[in-house]
Chain A
Amino acid sequence: MLSCKDIVRIVSADEKISWARRWEVRLHIAICPHCARYFRQLGQIRSSWQKLVAQRLEREDDAVRRLEAEAIRKFC
């Protein structure tokens, strides 16, 4: 049976696992409050970071245009 430590290693190091194993991980997360919280926190970090970087990029839309134009002028 997988321990909490195994679960944390598998989900945070993106270990390649079989479907059966994946099922076991899901089951563990469903019944273990610590691992569930851990798993949720990683998801929160991921989605928050995605959102913040996208927001920053939106503000920098002009910069992207300028960079494209400059690269096209230089290299095409």
Chain B
Amino acid sequence: MPTTFEQPDFLRRLKDRDRKAAEEMIVAHTKHLYHACLGLGFSAPEAEDITQSSWAAFFDSIHAFEGRSKLRTFLFGILYNKASEYRKKGKRLAPEPDIERLMDRHFNEKGMWLEGPKDPEKFFAAAQTAELIFGCMEHLPFPQRMAFHLKEVEGELTEEICRVLSVSANNLGVLLYRARNQLRECLQKKAR
């Protein structure tokens, strides 16, 4: 993304309701918003709805934005809230369990695998199959999906994702760990 969006001048123009600035903002980001909604598993009509209401909320609240985070982070934070409202759940994050505890069932006390990943060819085939991977993604709780999408598809920085989801870096690590491992285990099951 060109850095111009992050310059104070651009933000001032947006706040002043400069039409050109608003248009540039929309053209540069609509695709990413829509993309994220699809990545979160929403249907096309739902994704359109959420994208539109995110823009409405963005232009409603831009006057109050102080520029402490990136504009893009601010926008994705709005999207996350809109999408959570849509799902009517997961808006407030329940505390994530401790990562060590989650891992215990896979490893012995020396930290060695109890049973390593199996059937690499079958796994690879399962991971490439749209219905299987979309199906597995459906089972993930919303914050995990958002964390996974922002990290793996949007390539966002850790600090920015933490701001979007309002979680600590530690908590984000747990979200990513859980998202990746639930996907992996789900695909492994379907690979058999």
Where the two chains meet, the residues of A that have a C-beta atom closer than 8 Å to any C-beta of B are: 3-6, 8-9, 12-16, 33-35, 37-38, 40-42, 44-46, 48-50, 52-53, 56-57, 60, 63-64, 66-68, 70-72, 74-76
Contacts and interface: CB of A to CB of B under 8 A. Distances in A.
The 7 closest A-B pairs by CB, nearest first: A3-B111, A34-B116, A13-B173, A5-B111, A5-B107, A13-B177, A37-B117
Interface size class of B (residues with CB under 8 A): 35 or more
Contacts, number: 135
Contacts of B81: none
B167 interface: no
Interface stretch (B44-52, B67-75, B85-93): B44-52
Interface in B9-53: 19, 22-23, 26-27, 30-31, 34-35, 38-39, 44, 47-48, 51-52
Contacts of B27: 68, 72
B127 A75 contact: no
Contacts of B112: 3-5
Interface of B: 19, 22-23, 26-27, 30-31, 34-35, 38-39, 44, 47-48, 51-52, 55-56, 59, 99-100, 103, 106-107, 110-113, 116-117, 120, 123-124, 127-128, 130, 133-134, 137, 148-149, 151-153, 158, 169, 172-174, 176-177, 180-181, 183-184, 187
Contacts of B180: 12, 42, 45
